[in-house]
Amino acid sequence: MSEDEPWTADRLGRALQDRKKRLEAERRAAFLPLGIDAECRWPASRLFHRHSMLGPAWTPILTADEVEALTLDRGYKRYPGADRVALPRPAAPNATLEDAIASRHSERSFADRPVSLDAVATLMRLGAGVTADQEVPRRAAPSPGALYPVETYVFALSVNDLAPGLYHYDALDHAFETVAAPRGREATRAFLPSDLHRAGPALLIALTVAFPRVQMKYLERGYRFALLEAGHIGQNLVLAAAALDLAAVPVGGFWDEPFNDALGLDPDEEAVVYAVIVGHRP
């Protein structure tokens, strides 16, 4: 490209592409000293995958007593002093498992109609609720070492008998803790791609990982475990939505920083990893 060439839209586009390529080459080169070939297009993931592998030589970092203390401490996320909303325990939906699996599809448009609080409570219970009240209460989704590092939040955008706002699900008490003041449907604009924001879901369920809870025990592998737990909960949620005849889509492509900000999280300690948006079918 000659320096004398006029700055047309085409030239600007090419210059931007060149700059992107240069930055990407610099990014990849930074992984060379860590043993990752500069040709690898996903060096961070390759490095992480290598460093989170297990083998027969793996030994736990915590003692048995420390593991027991961590598992039993019920150190899940809490909002002490927050206003609480007791959730109903509605009857389980009548759909069979086969019906729910067969009718689940990702749906990305929603009717402008509120979802009932009963339906939201059912989603919480079947998605992430307590199913067996033991010394370590067991939940609807499996969890690495029964540590339950995944936390569930709900942006209530249009729910009957529930003020719009951000809530944290307290699984042990099957209740919501109020986290943030009502902001209505605008709440998701900053962190959802605009087509999903405009689709007008009645609620958005955010799944976060409280990293120390699982990584104190499993270190690097704990990150993989936590994502898998979130996937289990996500599947419970979309199947429960299908059983309730609601539309839902799981969302992995959100804007991380404003999403974590909206939840008031320090992303080095706890961060959003998955979300599900839900509403009535159009």
Ligand X SMILES: Cc1cc2nc3c(=O)[nH]c(=O)nc-3n(C[C@H](O)[C@H](O)[C@H](O)COP(=O)(O)O)c2cc1C
Residues near 44 by beta carbon (within 8 Å), at least 6 away in sequence: 31
Nearer to ligand X, 70 or 228 (CB): 228
Query: At what angle are helices 211-243 and 117-128 packed, to 10 degrees?
Result: 130
Please give the C-alpha separations between residue 174 and each of 1, 40, 93, 119, 245, in angstroms, as whole numbers.
Answer: 64, 46, 18, 14, 22
Nearer to ligand X, 81 or 253 (CB): 253
The two tokens of residue 82 are 């927050």
Interface ranges with ligand X (CB under 6 A) = 105-106, 108, 249-253
**Smallest distance, ligand X to C-beta of residue 226, A:** 14
246, 206, 228, 229: which is closest to 104 by C-alpha? Answer: 246
d(C-alpha 259, C-alpha 100), whole Å: 29
Nearer to ligand X, 35 or 142 (CB): 142
**Smallest distance, ligand X to C-beta of residue 272, A:** 12
Q: φ and ψ at 59, to 5 degrees?
A: -125, 140
Nearer to ligand X, 226 or 249 (CB): 249
**Smallest distance, ligand X to C-beta of residue 11, A:** 34
**Smallest distance, ligand X to C-beta of residue 48, A:** 17
Nearer to ligand X, 179 or 205 (CB): 205
**Smallest distance, ligand X to C-beta of residue 149, A:** 18
